[in-house]
């Protein structure tokens, strides 16, 4: 049985709500480490960065679900909504740490959002995430209709691009990580826009003749 089939059969047994549990537990655990000074000399910044990085990772993973299935056969489709909604709550935690613990007052929040371009673009990404989180349920799909819902959820691309630019803009000196994220998001966007169709199973190892097919 090829690797993706083995993983898929394991994934089928995992309920989607585990993503929410694991994501929520991680957010609480990181907060506990920061609150008990186990995150180095600047726990608030460290917490902001931890939440920001996981938020970005989940946004990019959400984008990669369809190509991953097409290219490798790895099927994370049933987790896509949970990944997206968890990404929203992790970014919300990121924003709240910044607003309540780092900046602290509404006045300063506004000044930072207006004055610092990396915060402005982060805010744009966060604001675009809100309607996606709110409509990540079957009721909204029925109310909006599939076509409108899919159009709205295309916002995932500007969200990912803004989040990567936010990261690129804030890092000091040269760091490879933001460029890796940028490369992945641009690749996914370019392939999607080009309507490029990978012959399915491109990276799926050929089933051995006579081996059980999926």
Residues that bind ligand HEM (CB under 6 A): 45, 48-49, 52-53, 55-56, 59, 91, 94-95, 98, 113, 119, 122-123, 125-126, 129, 163, 166-167, 170-171
Report in angstroms how near the CB of residue 21 gets to ligand HEM at its nearest. Answer: 21
Neighbours of 205 (CB within 10 A): 11
Nearer to ligand HEM, 153 or 166 (CB): 166
Q: Which position has the token pair 């996981």?
A: 54
Report in angstroms how near the CB of residue 53 gets to ligand HEM at its nearest. Answer: 5
Report in angstroms how near the CB of residue 75 gets to ligand HEM at its nearest. Answer: 25
Nearer to ligand HEM, 106 or 196 (CB): 106
Nearer to ligand HEM, 141 or 182 (CB): 182
> Left, alpha or beta for 171 (phi > 0: left; psi -120 to 50: alpha)?
beta
Residue nearest to ligand HEM (CB): 52
Report in angstroms how near the CB of residue 9 gets to ligand HEM at its nearest. Answer: 32
CA pair distance 65, 114, nearest whole angstrom: 34
Tokens linked to 193: 């826009």
Report in angstroms how near the CB of residue 171 gets to ligand HEM at its nearest. Answer: 6
Nearer to ligand HEM, 31 or 71 (CB): 31
CB under 8 Å to 98, separation ≥6 — which residues? 48
Burial class (CB in 10 A: 0-12, 13-18, 19+), 12: exposed
Nearer to ligand HEM, 75 or 112 (CB): 112
DSSP string, 30-73: HHHHHHTT-S-S-HHHHHHHHHHHHHHHHHHHHHHHHHHHHHH-
Instruction: Give the DSSP H/E element, type plus range, for residue 148.
Output: helix 146-152
Report in angstroms how near the CB of residue 92 gets to ligand HEM at its nearest. Answer: 9
Nearer to ligand HEM, 7 or 113 (CB): 113
């Amino acid at each position: 049985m090829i690797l993706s089939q083995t993983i898929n059969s394991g994934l089928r047994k995992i309920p989607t709500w585990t993503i929410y549990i694991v994501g929520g537990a991680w957010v609480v655990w990181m907060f506990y480490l920061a609150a008990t000074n186990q995150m180095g000399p600047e726990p608030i910044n460290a917490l902001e960065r931890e939440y920001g990085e996981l938020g970005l990772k989940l946004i990019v993973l959400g984008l990669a679900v369809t190509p991953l299935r097409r290219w490798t056969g790895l099927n994370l489709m049933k987790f896509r909504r949970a990944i997206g909604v968890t990404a929203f709550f992790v970014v919300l935690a990121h924003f709240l740490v910044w607003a309540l613990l780092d900046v602290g007052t509404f006045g300063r929040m506004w000044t930072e959002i207006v004055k610092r371009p990396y915060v402005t673009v982060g805010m744009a990404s966060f604001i675009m995430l809100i309607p996606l989180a709110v409509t990540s349920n079957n009721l909204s799909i029925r109310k909006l209709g599939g076509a409108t819902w899919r159009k709205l959820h295309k916002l995932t691309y500007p969200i990912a691009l803004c989040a990567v630019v936010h990261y690129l803009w804030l890092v000091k000196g040269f760091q490879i990580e933001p460029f890796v994220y940028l490369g992945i998001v641009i690749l996914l966007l370019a392939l999607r826009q080009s309507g490029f169709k990978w012959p399915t199973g491109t990276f799926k190892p050929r089933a051995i003749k006579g081996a059980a097919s999926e």
